[in-house]
């Protein structure tokens, strides 16, 4: 059995302004750094063996902070953990999108250059298949809200996991031979500690 921990990056200024980030390389803001530090303290005693992270600044810095609290474990940046590419939506707010494309802008998604769901799922599943072949049994993946939510829908389809993934939330999936089981979902108890 592999135990996979999914951690969303800490908050950014664009998160607070509800600006679509996608592949835009936005750093953590001071609150996001503080959130990552709290997540790091929480994760320090949980026997994680390796950390994989999106190379985008907000996720990679979150992973680096977690690693600082877990000295000696490897950190691997992997582009397959990047957020869903947002095409023309990146850098826009809901109001911007309505002004530019109208209230029904979501119906235009394929023509606006957004990464197809199938492509995002394919790259995420490919990484998980590689992880299955590795010797580590407790693997942390530090990534992005849209990516994590969509990948979880794919790998644990029989569980209702529809909430928005919160910044620095921890989700744990046990990957068994016959099925995957989500044992912890979207948990941010460390932010209240």
| Residues of the binding site | 8-15, 58
Percent of the chain clearing pLDDT 70 (strictly above): 100
Q: What is the mean pLDDT of the chain?
A: 95
For the segment 81-87, the average pLDDT, to the nearest whole number, is 96
Is residue 109 included in any domain, yes or no?
no
The answer, yes or no, to whether residue 162 has pLDDT greater than 80, is: no
Q: Give per-residue pLDDT as tens, 56-66.
A: 999 999 999 99
Spatial CB neighbours of 71, under 8 Å, sequence gap ≥ 6: none
The answer, yes or no, to whether residue 161 has pLDDT greater than 90, is: no
pLDDT attached to residue 110: 84
Q: Give per-residue pLDDT as tens, 12-38.
A: 999 999 999 999 999 999 999 999 999
Active-site residue identified among 37, 83, 90, 115? 83
- pTM of the predicted protein model: 0.95
Is 35 annotated in the active site?
Answer: no
The answer, yes or no, to whether residue 141 has pLDDT greater than 80, is: yes
Phi, psi of 116 (to 5 degrees): -65, 140
Q: How far is CA 124 from CA 78, 84, 94, in A?
A: 10, 11, 27
Percent of the chain clearing pLDDT 90 (strictly above): 91
CATH number of the domain at 140, please: 3.40.50.1240
Q: How far is CA 112 from CA 88, 91, 158, in A?
A: 5, 13, 31
Is residue 15 included in any domain, yes or no?
yes
3-state per-residue secondary structure call for the chain: CEEEEEEECCCEHHHHHCCCCCCCCCCECHHHHHHHHHHHHHHCCCCCCEEEECCCHHHHHHHHHHHHCCCCCCEEECHHHCCCCCHHHCCCCHHHHHHHHCCCHHHHHHHHCCCCHHHHHHHHHHHHHHHHHCCCCEEEEEECHHHHHHHHHHHCCCCCCCCCCCCCCEEEEEECCCCEEEEEEEECHHHHC
Question: For 75-84, 86-95, 158-167, which range has the lowest pLDDT when averaged over its residues?
Answer: 158-167
Active-site residue identified among 9, 37, 90, 144? 9
Is residue 185 included in any domain, yes or no?
yes
pLDDT attached to residue 128: 97
Angle at 29 between CA 182 and CA 109, to 5 degrees: 60
pLDDT attached to residue 158: 86
Is residue 153 included in any domain, yes or no?
yes
| Residues of the binding site for substrate | 8-15, 58
Is 9 annotated in the active site?
Answer: yes
- Kindly report the number of other CB atoms within 10 A of residue 138's CB atom: 15
Is residue 95 included in any domain, yes or no?
no
Is residue 93 included in any domain, yes or no?
no
pLDDT attached to residue 193: 75
β-pairing, 75-77 vs 138-143, is: unpaired
pLDDT attached to residue 63: 98
Is residue 17 included in any domain, yes or no?
yes
Is residue 90 included in any domain, yes or no?
no
Q: Give per-residue pLDDT as tens, 85-105.
A: 999 999 999 999 999 999 999
Phi, psi of 86 (to 5 degrees): -100, 0
Q: Give the confidence band of 192 by pLDDT, cuts at 50, 70, 90.
A: very high
Cα 96 from Cα 175, distance rounded (Å): 41
Number of domains in the chain: 1
For the segment 65-91, the average pLDDT, to the nearest whole number, is 96
Q: Residue 143 belongs to what domain range?
A: 2-85+115-192
């Amino acid at each position: 059995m592999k135990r996979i921990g999914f951690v969303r990056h800490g908050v950014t200024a664009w998160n607070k302004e509800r600006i679509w980030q996608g592949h835009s390389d936005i750093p953590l803001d001071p609150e996001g750094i503080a959130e990552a530090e709290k997540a790091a303290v929480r994760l320090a005693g949980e026997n994680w063996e390796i950390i994989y992270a999106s190379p985008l600044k907000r996720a990679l810095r979150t992973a680096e902070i977690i690693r600082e609290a877990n000295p000696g474990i490897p950190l691997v940046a992997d582009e397959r953990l990047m957020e869903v590419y947002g095409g023309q939506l990146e850098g826009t707010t809901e109001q911007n999108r309505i002004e530019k494309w109208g209230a029904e802008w979501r119906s235009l998604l394929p023509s606006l250059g957004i990464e197809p769901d199938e492509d995002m799922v394919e790259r995420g599943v490919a990484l998980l298949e590689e992880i299955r072949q590795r010797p580590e049994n407790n693997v942390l993946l530090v990534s992005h809200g849209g990516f994590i939510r969509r990948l979880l829908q794919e790998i644990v389809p029989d569980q209702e996991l529809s909430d928005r993934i919160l910044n620095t939330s921890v989700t744990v999936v046990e990957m068994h031979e016959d099925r995957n089981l989500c044992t912890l979902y979207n948990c941010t108890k460390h932010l209240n500690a």
